[in-house]
Structure 1
Amino acid sequence: MATQSGIVFEDFFPAMIEKLGAEGFMKELCNGFRLLMDGEKGLITFESLKRNSALLGLQGMSDEEVICMLREGDLDGDGALNEMEFCTLMFRLIPGLMKSYRKLLVEAIVDEL
C-alpha cells in the first residue's frame, strides 16, 4: 500500500517496532484500527474503510480494492474486520514484519511474566 508520494507506510513498521517496543507498536496498530472503524459497529466495514482510507493515503482505492482488503483479513466471514483481524492482516501484509514478529512475541511473553 503506497501513498501518493510513493512512500510505503509498511516500510516504517520495523523502525516503529524498534523504537516503540512490542507494547507500543501494538497500541499504534490499535489506534490505526480505531481510525478506520465504524464507531457504531466497532468494526472496519466497507463504508468506514472507504470513508477513512484517505487517513492512510489510500483515497484512490476502488470499491473492488476495498472489498479485496476486507476479504483478505476477514477471518470469521462477517464482511468486516474486528481489531484482531485487522492486526493479523497488518502482520501478514507488511514485508519483513514477520522477521520482527518473533522479537515481538518474546517481548510480549516477557512483559506478561
Structure 2
Amino acid sequence: MAEKLGGDGLIGELCNGFQLLMDSDKGVITFESLKKNSALLGLQELSDNDFYGMLKEGDFDGDGALNQMEFCVLMFRLSPELMDHSHFLLDEAFQQECFQHFNF
C-alpha cells in the first residue's frame, strides 16, 4: 500500500484513518470513539481490552486518548511494512534534496 501511495498519499491515508476513528467533539481518538467507529474498519471483533491496549500503547502523553501524531506513530509501529517503506521514502526525499542542492 505504502509503495502505491507515496509519502504524501500515505500520510493522507493515515490522517483519514485518524479522522474516521476520532471523537469529532474532542479531536482525539478516545476509547468510546475507537470502539464505536472501529466497525467501519472491520475491527468489530476486538474486545474492550484490545481497544484499551491500543490506546495505552499509543498514548505517549498519558491523557488516555490518541492525538493525530500518536495515532500515526502507532500505525507505523504496528505495521512493519509501513516502517520499511517510510525509510525508502525518507531516502528518496533526501536524494531529491541533494540533487536539487548540488544541481544534478
TM-score, normalised by the number of residues in structure 1:
0.78
1:22–1:107 Cα contact (<8 Å) kept: no
- Cα RMSD, aligned residues only: 1.7
More deviation in 30-39 or 51-60? 51-60
Q: Which amino acid counterpart does residue 25 of structure 1 have in structure 2?
A: L
Match runs of 1:23-38 below 5 Å: 23-38=8-23
Aligned position for 1:21: 6
What SS does the aligned partner of 1:96 have?
Answer: helix
* Residues 1:78 and 2:63 aligned together: yes
Percent identity reads 65
d(CA) in 1 for partners of 2:41 and 2:89?
24
2:29–2:65 Cα contact (<8 Å) kept: yes
Aligned position for 1:62: 47
What are structure 1's unaligned runs of at least 5 residues?
Answer: 1-15
Runs of 4+ off more than 4 Å: 107-111
1:72–1:89 Cα contact (<8 Å) kept: yes
- The change in CA–CA distance for 1:21 and 1:33 in structure 2 (over 3 A counts) is same
2:76–2:82 Cα contact (<8 Å) kept: yes
d(CA) in 1 for partners of 2:84 and 2:16?
23
Aligned residues: 97
> Larger Cα Rg: Structure 1 or Structure 2?
2
What are structure 2's unaligned runs of at least 5 residues?
Answer: none
Cα distance, 1:40 vs. partner? 0.4
Of 32, 36, 39, 1:51 maps to: 36
Cα distance, 1:99 vs. partner? 1.6
Cα distance, 1:107 vs. partner? 4.3
1:23–1:108 Cα contact (<8 Å) kept: no
TM-score, normalised by the number of residues in structure 2:
0.85
